[in-house]
Structures are given as structure tokens and as C-alpha cells.
Structure 1
Amino acid sequence: MFYFSGSIALVFHDIALFLLVIPFLYIGGFNLFERILQFGAIGYVWIAHHTGLMVQGANMSDPLVIIAFAVTIALLFASMIPVVHERIIYHWVHGIIYFFLLAFLFWETLPRVSMNIEINPLNSALGVIIFVAMNVIVLIVWTRGVSNESDNHFEKQADYDALTKAKSFALFKHDSNATFHYSTTVRMPLTVIEWDIDRFKQINDSYGHSAGNQILMDTTNIVREALKNTELNADLYRTGGEEFTIIIPDCSLDQALPVMKKIWNDIRTTDFYYNSKLIDVTISMGGTELHPEDEAFNTIYNRADQALYHSKRNGRNQVSLDDKTVYSGNRRQQVMAMFAYLKQPIMKLDNSHFTNIANELVLQKYDFGTYRWHSDTDLRSNFSIQVDLINELFEPTTAAKLHLNMTLEQMFDRDNCKDFLATVKKYPQIQFVLEITNLNHLKPTNHERFAKWIDFLHQHNVKILWDDVNSQIDFTILQQVDGIKYHLQAHPNLQLQIQQLKPWIRYCQEHELIGIVSNVSTKEQLTNLQDQLGITQAQGPYFGIPELPTIS
């Protein structure tokens, strides 16, 4: 630029100044040595324009010129401060002021001739205008590029589920149709797999939604790792709350089966923890592949959905291909997955207020058709399921008072007794109360056997209640148990039921036995029972509906 003169030299001088100034707006791109070189270049150019052979009226020693140079250096330093840098780049007024000050300090302090350019007011103004215009144009291009990059970043974020990092449902809808059309066009195989977490609602209800979120993240990490370690070009999508879909183009169902088995097995054999609590997690899977007659992706997707439903309907913790189960967990685990305890509080009157003194664990079965828990008269036939559920729920150090249901037949079953006593010994801090039904069917020939068994249970600190008593009182049995439970009926004649219950409650009060009235639904019922019978223990919907226990 030293070899140009006249008006054209203005442009070249501004280009040189621009090339020296613009790197200072690039934060983090240079090391300390490079920054020192940049400041050295700025100093050299400034001095060369204010003194030397190509300058007339050198003024480098002028105090105003020195101050202007110091202010210029300070502005360049300031431009590297993140807050100032952001203002210059993204706020046009601040950017224009910044570049105007740099140009003004440079051009307005030059001597009358600098680098063979005659410095007059017109040339000085042109130099400022050209420099500011050059930098504004660069900023426009720069910020537009950053904006596009930001848009791409947010667009990419929208393509992924924030929690599990699986691809989003919106991207699933786009990719699934595109993959289907490509596969049908080039006659390429296509496999679709659906899977979801078994009993996920129970996990949320028992351990909280934070635990549920942790399980979602942990399971998807396992799935992603399994897919990554194959040669399959598979994509994982979150298509529902705990439901996920895997699309594998150029892959038959037979080829996908090994990775399906690995995913299923890795999850069911992994110990999942939340806040040091072990949570049992299994998944159900359903898979299908592209058929020649398929005309849309939804046809395949619905078939995969039906395969998943087949796994869940047949006990969960399974892998199904179309309508055939190919891998299944232990049958015992499948049965257990269908059952759960619901906690029904037992309340006791204490200083005019009812407090929760114990919990009855009511065995329930899950109906896959209605997606609801319900009681079943056949459930009590398998007492070992109740014992297994206790082992799932509680730690050996748990302190609690629990009521369990047992039929007379179960009481005389050797295996049931063995399982229950093992549980009693495992949980020494739990006060177990057995509520025995059908005691009115106890035959006289079994009275001695019954008495021996009751004595044995008492030795192990287990209390016995006569459950579901009626109008017939058998004092022989009543003298051996620790109390009774009476179930209010739904019919409106409460007074008749109170009269039936009165001798039972009177006997319990006289002999300091437990007397519980169940199915209390309204405050009116409770008030009548208190006023006429003086009951002190009750349970039922009035005190809250049964819920999944969180005791551990």
C-alpha cells in the first residue's frame, strides 16, 4: 500500500487497518504470542503513518496523537471482553460507534501528508466512512452465519428427546415414511421393533417420577450401546412415554433378532438403582418386518405394536416376532409381574384423632384389558406370591406392622407355612398380623391342630385375626385368636349390621382383643360405630383408597 497514492490509497489503507482490527473480534482464536504480534503490527502501522520518510509534518510525539494511540489500544483490548464483544457484534449501534471511534482516532490524527496521501477533511471523512462500511458489511455476513448455525443447533435439538437422547417422535414420523418409501423402491428389507418398560407406572407410583426418569435414561443407554456395537444402521426413537421404536433399514427380522435378545437380556439382568434402592426393570419387545403387500409404514408399525401387545398380554418380559413369543423371562417372573400389593391403612382412635397404626397389604391382579388393578377371589390360593412380593418390597431392616390375608386352607398348607415362617424370620422388625378367613368352616376335628398352629405363630410374635366374622360366634375359636375384623356391607341397613357386630366388639373390649371394622366409607358410618359400639380401630375408603406401597 506504500506504493499507491491519491484517492485509491484510501481504500488500501482502510483494508490494511481492517485486517489488523478484525482479528480482535475473534475471541479464543489466538494464543498470547499471536496477540502480542497483532498489537505489535498495530503499533508499527500507527507509527509508520505518523512519522517517517513518507510523512510530511510528522506528529508522533504530539500528546494528542499519543493519547489517541493509547485509546485505540484500549478499545482493541476492550473488544476482547465477552460482554463488550457481544455488544459490538450483535448490537448495531454499539458496533458502528466502535468502528467509527477506531477510524476517527486513526484518520483525524494523521499529519498533513501520510504515505503520500494528502490528509484533508474530505479524505479524512472518506477514510472513516469506508472503514466503518467495510466492518458493517462483514458484521452482517458474520451474524447471519451465526444465526443460521444457531438455527441448525436448535433444529438438531428439536430432533432429539431431551431426557433420553433418543430421536423425537416428530423425526420418527418423517424418517419412518422416508425409509419405507426407499425400502420399497429398491426392494430392501426393513425391520421395525417396538419396546417399552414393564410396569413403568408402578415405578413412578412407588419410587417417584425422578426414579422413572432415571430408569428411562438408563434403559435407553443400554439400548443405544447394544445398537452401536452392531453393524446395523439402526435408529432409536421415543414414540411415547415409556415406549420406543427402533427402525433398522436393510435388515431382515432374522438378522435383527440377536440384537433384540441382547437388549432384552441386558436390561432384565441389570441392577437398576435410584437413591440406593434396587428397582426391578424388565422390558417387553415386539418386532416385524416389511411384507410385499405393505402399502404404508403404518401397516408395519401397527404390526409391531401388535407384537408388543402380544408380549405384554402373555406376561411381559418377553420378545415376540409378530404373534409368536421367541424369548421369555422366567415364568415365575411373568406371574409376579401381574400382581402387586395395594396398601390399605388401618386407623386407631388416639386422643380423639385417628392415626395410622398398621397397613394391610391387599393382593391385586393387573387386568391388561382394562389397565386396572382389581381383586380376584382366586388370588389367595397362591400365598407364595404374597411372600415373594413382600421380599420385593422390604429390606431386612424395615420396621413396620403389616396385615396379610390367609385362608384357612392356606394355613394348613405345609409349603405356605414354611414360606411364611421364613419371611417372618427374615424380617424380625416387622410385626406380622395374619387375617384368617373361612374360620367358621373349621371342623371340630381340626380344632386341636388349629390351636397348635396358633401357639406356634404366637411364639414367633405373629398375631392372628378372625377375618370377615358374621353373626355366628364360635367362642372356641375366638378364645385362641388376637382379635376380629368385621366387613361392613354395602346395603343401607347399618343398624342391623351394628346389632350383629355388637357381641363381637363387646367380647373384644372385655378381653382386650383387637376389633377392626372394615369398609368404612362415610363419616356417618364412623360416627355411628363409635357412638354405639365404641370402636377404636377401623379402615376403609373413608381413610383413603388403597395405594401401591413405598415402604422399603
Structure 2
Amino acid sequence: MNLFENFFQDIFNIKSVIMALITVGLITLMMMMTYVLAQRTVRLFRPYTIIVDLLEAVIVVGGVVVLRQTFLVLNGGSVLSWGYAIAQLMVLLFSLYAMQTLAVTLVNLAMPLIFYGASLRLGASPQWWWLFAIMTVILFGVIIYISRHQTLALDSEWRFLLLQLLYGLTWCLIIWSVRPYHLFYMVNVLVIFILYMWIIRFFVKRINQVIKHLSRLSQAANYDELTGVRNRANFDTTTVGVFGVYRHHPTKPITMAMFDIDHFKNFNDEYGHLAGDIVLKHVAQHFNQELVRQTPYGELFRYGGEEFVIIFEDTSPADAERAIMAIQETLKQHPVHLDNQKLTVTVSVGISALQPTDLNFDSWFKRVDHYLYLSKQGGRNRITVEDQNGQS
């Protein structure tokens, strides 16, 4: 009975209530920040998405640190509390379900190693190192599985229960390997931990549904339904941000390329509008895929009809030209297959960098559009860069 009373005195007291509220607040804040960062990532150039992923990992580490410091204050400089352990496990496990990034997974993988190292520095005995090693390997397997199958784990009740049990059990035994305690505590910790995580699962699923709904709305508002690339509305929003970046960093080149499909009207007239849609989708997806291979700085937009625009951040016109020339070549090597026919598709391109003299977007856009016009007038399947003509 004393064990039972001691355990519940540790879990259910005013300090634990305060910590529970702080933990719930942290998890709520993490949910909100995860959604905001996910929305921001959609609008960022690819290199910056890595920074966002790292920022999510920092949020998790920050949450762990905040809990630790709060417990130190509330418990007179000690964190030897099952309430503290449960709170930490909730934050770590929640991050795996809510933040689907490699950086957050690595934080979870590192935590048992950090805990063990810190315990040894504080004088814990390494006598049960083999138990720690076995439990850590099992815990790593659970973490990796959850990181790759978050939705599956949340949707299946028995799978969710099993994963929570394994996650909590391995952590309890990892703690026991450096600070042995009566195993009665472990049973109670697992029950309370699983109960709390079940409640969190309910809210995570609901929030994920809201996020998916908002993502679908964002997809419809910012991406072209036919081709799948960013649309005119997203292009208009992006150019506002581009001008803001350029004003603060005028030495960083920002280049725009505009291209349209050569003789696109002929595809519609000879093969029908469905064929025209197939050609549009083929060109858009080809450019989108090849841009990733050629440069990390290009973003493709469908401006309208058969016209597309690429914004290259931190890229000179010459570098943009090289990337597009390479894509032009691969486009010719991958014709459209339609009714046992191979339709070769080419594009004409105009390229220009943003200049200090461009007081607004229209002046820059008209210049790029003029160079596109020169490419079409020069015989099509060409690239015109600033005042230089080049045959692809």
C-alpha cells in the first residue's frame, strides 16, 4: 500500500497538476507551430524546407528543456519524478506523430543515449548496460516504425496501443537500467502514459483532419488542377515575396524565365483539346521533375494557357539558361505518346534577371515576355537571354 500511495502522491499533487497543464500547453503549441510551419514550407524554395525541418526539431528539444527546467524549479533542483518522466515521453512521442520529419526522428533516437550518458555522469552504475542496449535497440525500431507509418499507427487502435506499450515499456526499462526502482511503479506509469497518449491521439487525429482539409483548400487555391504545378495566384503571391527579398539583398541574383509550348494550337486542332491537355500536363510535369535535378532554386508556375514561368532564386541568367537548355534536350527525348503516335514537343524561352531599375513587377515581366517573343520570332525552340539569342 505504501508503494501505491507514494506513486500517486508523486503523480497526483499540485506540482504535477501544474506540470500537466504546462505539458498540454506545450503540445498544443507544438500542434499550432507544426501547422504554421507546414503552410510556410509550401511557399518556400526547396533549400529552405530543410531549415524548417530543423526548426521543428528545435521546437521538440525546446519543449523537453522547458519541462526539465520547470520540474527543477518545482522540485527543488530534482527531476526524479514519474510525473516528469511521463510528461517527457508524451512530448517526445507526440512529436513523432505530429511532425513527420527526419530531424524530429533523430531527436527521438538521440534522447535515450543522452539520458544514459547524463545518468552515468551523475554517478549511475553501468551494471545493467546490456539491458539498456537491448531496450534501446527495441526503442529505435519502434521510433523508426512510427516515423514511417504515423497515419497507419493513429488509425489502428490495436497498433496504436501496442506501439505505446512498447515505447513506454522500453523507456521504463532504460530508466531502470541506471536507476533501479520497484517494478510496481512501471505498471502504473504504463497505464497512465497509455491513457494520456490515447487522449492525445484523439486530438491529433482531429487536428490532422483539419490540417488535411486546409491543405486541400490551399492546394486548390495555389496549384493548377490540370498540370499540378503552382498556379497564377501562387505566382502573384510569390513575386511579392521575391521583390521583398531583392530589396534586402540586391546583390543576390533573381532570374525569371518564361516559356510556352511551340505550335500548341496545332495539337488542339489536329488531335483535339484532350490531346492539348495531355501535352500541357506532360510539359509541366517534365519541367517540374527536371528542375529538381538541375537546380534547387527553381520554382515552376503555370501562368495561363500554354505559358509557364520559372522563378530562379540566387541564380544568374546564364545559370538559368544552362538548366533550361538541359531540360529542353530531355523534353525532346521524351515525346508525348498519343494513339500510337509520338508527338515531339518543344518550347520557346525568354530569360531576364531582376534589375535595380525594376520599380515594379510589370517592368520585369514585360522584359521577359519580350525575350520570349524574340525566341518565337527567331524560329521557336530557342532561348533568348537578356539581349543574346541562342539556338537550343
TM-score of the aligned structures, taking structure 1 as reference length: 0.36
Choose between structure 1 and 2: higher strand proportion: 1
Higher relative contact order (CA 8 A, sep 6+): 2
Choose between structure 1 and 2: higher helix proportion: 2
